Structure 1
């Protein structure tokens, strides 16, 4: 399936004293798209929001400042890894390509999500149904500029 692309409005209140979208607000954009993706990724079964999933880790690379504008920004989300009790998501926040074909990319990020049992509050294995749906969205790792060893 590839990437899920969601246009998300940038709010006036997302800006900080420096006149650009605050770094924390990018996490909100990621969350908004992640929640929408979990509904898309249900594959006819219950949503991961119903069966239980937690954010365990974020890695974020801010590439350039993003200023407020009336047009929505495009947030891409895809699955980069499916493990036994966790999976990784990739994100890219960017503008659509302009007339010159250039595309402004503001952020690349990755999240590790852990599946858990809502009733017991403990981690659980990714179900076979979840695994099949997640693998349908599998793509390349996030192309970070710099990776720590």
Structure 2
């Protein structure tokens, strides 16, 4: 299963060339990640932090008044981290493909923590290695 977030584009997202600035995509990914992780029925309110972003810019996204789709899924679950893979796209047009490593964090103790059983169960519902395996096969 995958999570879908409809992300609005803002006038301030545009750079001098009329397309969405590369740094803005980090904010888009953050919005989608928050929409995914902080839902009333399942959430990570105990805390989490981003440990790593990896972004491949595939094509320019020209500013317009219609939102883009951000599709995300889980590609790795470890004891104290998980990886979210995301695509910013319109139908078959992928603008950005990204990978984000998230670490559960105990803000009171100021240190990373392990995933709870409930968090692992929630993340497992969105586990999808199929595209990652295909990506690695192409790279080999």
Task: Determine if the TM-score, normalized by the shorter chain, exceeds 0.5.
Answer: yes
Matched, 1:6 2:5: yes
Matched, 1:15 2:30: no
How far apart are the structure 2 equivalents of 1:83 and 1:41?
Answer: 24
What TM-score does the superposition give when structure 1 sets the normalisation length? 0.85
Q: Is the 8 A contact 1:74 1:95 kept in 2?
A: yes
- State the shift of 1:129 in Å: 0.9
Pair 1:146–1:32, CA change in 2 (3 A): farther
- State the shift of 1:105 in Å: 0.8
Residue of 107, 114, 119 corresponding to 1:130: 119
- State the shift of 1:40 in Å: 3.6
Pair 1:60–1:145, CA change in 2 (3 A): farther
How far apart are the structure 2 equivalents of 1:138 and 1:18?
Answer: 37
How far apart are the structure 1 equivalents of 2:27 and 2:50?
Answer: 13
RMSD, matched Cα: 2.1
How far apart are the structure 2 equivalents of 1:89 and 1:14?
Answer: 23
Q: Which residue of 2 aligns with 1:120?
A: 109
- State the shift of 1:77 in Å: 1.0
* Contiguous gaps of at least 5 residues in structure 1: 97-102
What TM-score does the superposition give when structure 2 sets the normalisation length? 0.90
Matched, 1:75 2:75: no
How far apart are the structure 2 equivalents of 1:145 and 1:110?
Answer: 17
Aligned pair count reads 137
Q: Which residue of 2 aligns with 1:26?
A: 25
Q: Which residue of 1 aligns with 2:82?
A: 87
